[in-house]
Chains A and B, each alone.
Chain A
């Protein structure tokens, strides 16, 4: 520990003091920003919300005879952005609650917040040249402009709602298509910058919480089976991220040679099987030692509610333990909504946005513990 850190350690801020300050309305900015971070998909509602946190469908679309964004010139990218603006105006998307955020106008920390909320990709967050996010007020629908493809239309819903996510996404696809001349080929389907998206341009994914399968050490066996049926398994922050907090994301890999319905239905039926396996494992754990599970959840809650410092990995694991306790009725009074929100609120970008300044890892651990104390009932 260096001197600076020691000084901090000797004069820690009283978490209680901060809470009181908030309640007295002293820190309105933080309250406002917290409400900005909270999103509809974190609601903890929808079918099978105890295991499936969210469902997502996205479609990749491009304009005919226009270089894809990675190879496009500034003028060409500007044309695409202008086309997007025209679509919003002509289709009256604005009236139905959409707004456009141009990426280069957003401060870096807010871009990171959008990534952590799963509304944009890390790639778009880095893109300063004529890129934008078109976002519906409820944040269920988001359209990325000039990411890897000209347009990426996404629907993100709480719980297991792949069919609805597909229908919503396809509906906005139809609206865009009535104004834009899409790059489409009879044989190859929708043409995309990456050959892994060609055809339907569709990526469907679900975010799952599978603690009982992890505790009973069945997870690796099951996940390798999942990857054998053409689905990809990842941590919740995309490619190359590991599984933390027993959360993972499963998505289709194949986009060509199957219809959209086949693709999401395949993911749906595998998800259903995983839900059943997880439920069986939970049942098994309850029978084996209900007290052990309750103890685990209660201890996790105790640490989360009282820790002064906590790193991201530990927070995710403890939130997972608490969630399992809540799901099994062993821990009362903690809404799933709060647990979902905390998954995002405790990410580095969100913490820094809430605090309105850059935080080093040490400061983030302090702030993370503070936010968890504030939010947990």
Chain B
């Protein structure tokens, strides 16, 4: 069926108006419906991604009251102030800390979107050295326990100092110096 207004495009919007009890019906294409202001909403983002997220995350309907009553309102990211409920509505994180702030609540979302929760790709050189330091610390801790069990306390103390040094490097962002 063609649009009743321009007669050119396929009609995809059915407008029913009831004014003073008088009913009028029209079949319009999207652009005519938009121009005539027959739509109370914009056509941008035909696919409402945020609603999709809301449903995945188990938000009842996406409206803030409903979300609040569902008990999600408490979560808020200290980095940017975004609440979990707001995230459900806009479908976007506010900052990198949101990922940590919303924590395990996000896991079902990642599973549904990606079928996975674990990054297997590229690692930035910086974070890479960070990861290496962490692995080294883990290894030293195991060695430390072994030495303690063997009552080799002097060697254990040396290892303990090594661990402290590495931990300091991580916390001071010292891994950058490696570059």
Contact = CB atoms under 8 A, between A and B. Distances in A.
Interface of A: 62, 64-68, 70-71, 148, 170, 173-174, 177-178, 181-196, 198-200, 202, 239-240, 253-260, 262-263
A60 to B, nearest CB: 12
A71 B119 contact: no
B121 A258 contact: yes
B146 to A, nearest CB: 26
Contacts of A190: 119, 122
Interface of B: 45-47, 53, 79-80, 82, 90-97, 99-100, 106, 109-110, 113-127, 131, 179
Given A68-B92, A182-B127, 9 more contacts: A70-B92, A174-B125, A187-B119, A188-B117, A195-B109, A195-B113, A199-B121, A256-B110, A257-B120
A65 B98 CA distance: 10
A64 B96 contact: yes
A257 B117 contact: yes
Contacts of B117: 187-188, 256-257
B126 A193 contact: no
A97 B95 CA distance: 32
A189 B96 contact: no
Contacts of B93: 68, 191-195
Contacts of B116: 254, 256-258
B131 A186 contact: yes
B114 A68 contact: no
Nearest to B100: A185
B124 A71 contact: no
A173 B131 CA distance: 19
Given A182-B124, A195-B110, A195-B113, A257 B118 contact: yes
B120 A258 contact: yes
Nearest to A311: B8
Judged by DSSP, the binding face of A is loop
B92 to A, nearest CB: 5
A170 B122 contact: yes
A71 B123 contact: no
Contacts of B125: 174, 177-178
Please indicate which of the listed interface residues B92, B118, B121 has the most CB atoms of chain A within 10 Å of its own CB.
B121
Nearest to A261: B121
Contacts of A186: 119, 127, 131
Contacts of A148: 92
Nearest to A66: B95
B121 A65 contact: no
A271 B146 CA distance: 54
B6 to A, nearest CB: 10
A239 B100 CA distance: 29
A71 B82 contact: yes
A200 B119 contact: yes
Contacts of A199: 114, 119-121
Top 9 A-B residue pairs of the complex, sorted by shortest distance between their CB atoms: A257-B116, A189-B119, A183-B96, A256-B114, A200-B121, A71-B94, A191-B96, A67-B95, A240-B46
Nearest to B44: A240
8 contacts: A71-B95, A178-B125, A188-B119, A191-B96, A195-B91, A195-B93, A195-B113, A239-B47
Contacts of B127: 182, 184, 186
B47 A240 contact: yes
Nearest to B94: A71
A196 B99 contact: no
Contacts of B99: 185, 188, 191, 198
B122 A200 contact: yes
A63 B132 CA distance: 21
A200 B122 CA distance: 7
Contacts of B126: 177, 181-182, 184
